[in-house]
Amino acid sequence: MQRLLSLIPVLIFAAVSTALGLSLSNDPRKLPSMLIDKPTPIFALASLEEGGSGLSSDDLKGRIVLLNVFASWCAGCRIEHPMLMALAENSGIPIYGVSWKDERASGARWLKANRSPYVRVGDDQSGRLGIDLGVTGVPETFVIDRTGRIRYRHAGPITDDVWQETFAPLLAELRTERP
Amino acid sequence: MKEHWMAAISRIASVIGVVLMLSAPGFAVTPDEVLQDTRLEVRARELSRTLRCLVCQNQSIDDSDAPLAHDLRVLLRERLTAGDTDAQAVGFMVARYGNFILLKPPVQADTLVLWFGPALLLMVAAIGFGRYVGRSAAAFSAETAPLKSDEQERLDVLLRARRST
């Protein structure tokens, strides 16, 4: 018994160092979103593209949509762009874009040069919608359900793996929900 | 000749000293952010020191040059100008970014370990150490217990034998 008791400090040390060691592999950029299961903030943005219609929270209502926050200056968004194009063509889920903290002209030029995967693109030059969404960087993508609630937030580019492992199952589940 | 040198050096040193005294440390807060109302500005500075920059993560928004930190500073000042209390303004930030934005985590169920864990560990260690010390003190006093009469007799015999040789 005494023997076992004397092992306790060693065991505690082992447990604490294992826990700390494992937490080293956590990504500190992965922050929980406060908006999960909350209604999408109400907003109305001017259009990024010349002559385009703007983007407001009302546009997102009634359907499952993706809201993608991007910027022309963002490297991750360039990586993500082909994936978004493929999704826009094949997934059947409308993608809406928010150009975050970017010059309107640069954003519009970038979309023109690379083709736009978005149904509509709003211009959030001030970054205020970004703050309301709890955005900490770009790209970030929100999954919004039929009732207008945010169900998921992904920080970083959507890759094939991310789509297969997270988005696809979630969207399949959301489709089964009664509106 | 030597005096000239000394004078030159001391003049250079005093110029450097004055320049250092006059130059303010590099603040992240830019002049256009600063509020006219000094009392509001002081509150804003104090609050922004407690809010984490989500981009740099270990800097406060008061320290950080990140564009998002700038936006949050401006937004915080807007909230205060609009009449928010300190708690309301901080609550506004927490509603969007979670408790992570607070550099000092609040005391609540899931942070109890964080707040009181170290003190608890210290107490456990102190108790353990106390018991260890107590036990070895007890062992020590047991060793120095007075000899029984037969033991004393044997010792006397041995000591006498040793003296006689």
- Which helix (H) or strand (E) segment holds residue B59: the answer is none
pLDDT at position B26:
61
Measured between CB atoms, which of B68, B95, B98 is closest to A32? B98
Round to whole Å and give the CA distance between B46 and A73.
33
- CB distance B71–A127 less than 8 Å? yes
Asked whether B97 and B54 are in contact (CB, 8 A), the reply is yes
CATH number (domain holding residue A110): 3.40.30.10
- CB distance A126–B71 less than 8 Å? yes
pLDDT at position B20:
78
Find residues 71-100 of chain A whose CB sits inside 8 Å of chain B.
none
- CB distance B68–A127 less than 8 Å? yes
CB atoms near residue A171 (< 10 Å):
19
Question: pTM of this prediction?
Answer: 0.78
Round to whole Å and give the CA distance between B163 and B165.
6
Residue A16 lies in a domain: no
pLDDT at position B24:
59
pLDDT at position B23:
67
Give burial (CB, 10 Å; 0-12/13-18/19+) of B63. Answer: middle
Round to whole Å and give the CA distance between A111 and A120.
12
Is it the case that residue A169 has pLDDT exceeding 70? yes
Confidence of residue A50 (pLDDT cuts 50, 70, 90): confident
User: Total domain count for chain A?
Assistant: 1
- The 10s digit of each residue's pLDDT in A109-144 is 999 999 999 999 999 999 999 999 999 999 999 999
Min Cα distance B37 → chain A (Å) is: 24
Residues of chain B with pLDDT under 50: none
What is the overall mean pLDDT for chain A? 93
- CB distance B97–A34 less than 8 Å? yes
Residue A1 lies in a domain: no
Give burial (CB, 10 Å; 0-12/13-18/19+) of B159. Answer: exposed
Task: Tell me the HSE value of A70 on the side-chain side, using a 13 A CA sphere.
Answer: 29
Residue A89 lies in a domain: yes
Min Cα distance B64 → chain A (Å) is: 14
Confidence of residue A167 (pLDDT cuts 50, 70, 90): very high
pLDDT at position B3:
73
Residue A12 lies in a domain: no
Residue A131 lies in a domain: yes
- CB distance B67–A101 less than 8 Å? yes
A179–B contact, CB cutoff 8 A: no
Token pair for A134? 């709890």
- Containing structural domain, residue A85: 34-176
Q: What region, left, alpha or beta, does residue A127 occupy, with left being phi > 0 and alpha being psi -120 to 50 degrees?
A: left
Is it the case that residue A14 has pLDDT exceeding 60? yes
Measured between CB atoms, which of B55, B75, B128 is closest to A136? B55
DSSP string covering B5-42, please? HHHHHHHHHHHHHHHHHHSPP--SS-GGGS-SSHHHHH
| C-alpha distances out from residue B156 to A74, A153, A164, Å | 93, 88, 90
Residue A19 lies in a domain: no
Round to whole Å and give the CA distance between B68 and B101.
12
CB atoms near residue A98 (< 10 Å):
29
pLDDT at position A32:
82
Residue A14 lies in a domain: no
Min Cα distance A89 → chain B (Å) is: 32
Asked whether A77 and A70 are in contact (CB, 8 A), the reply is yes
Pairing of strands A150-155, A140-144: antiparallel
- CB distance B67–A131 less than 8 Å? no
Packed helices B86-97 and B67-81: angle between N→C axes, nearest 10 degrees:
140
Is it the case that residue A157 has pLDDT exceeding 80? yes
Per DSSP, the three-state class of A155 is strand
Residue A4 lies in a domain: no
Measured between CB atoms, which of B68, B94, B128 is closest to A136? B68
- CB distance A128–B75 less than 8 Å? yes
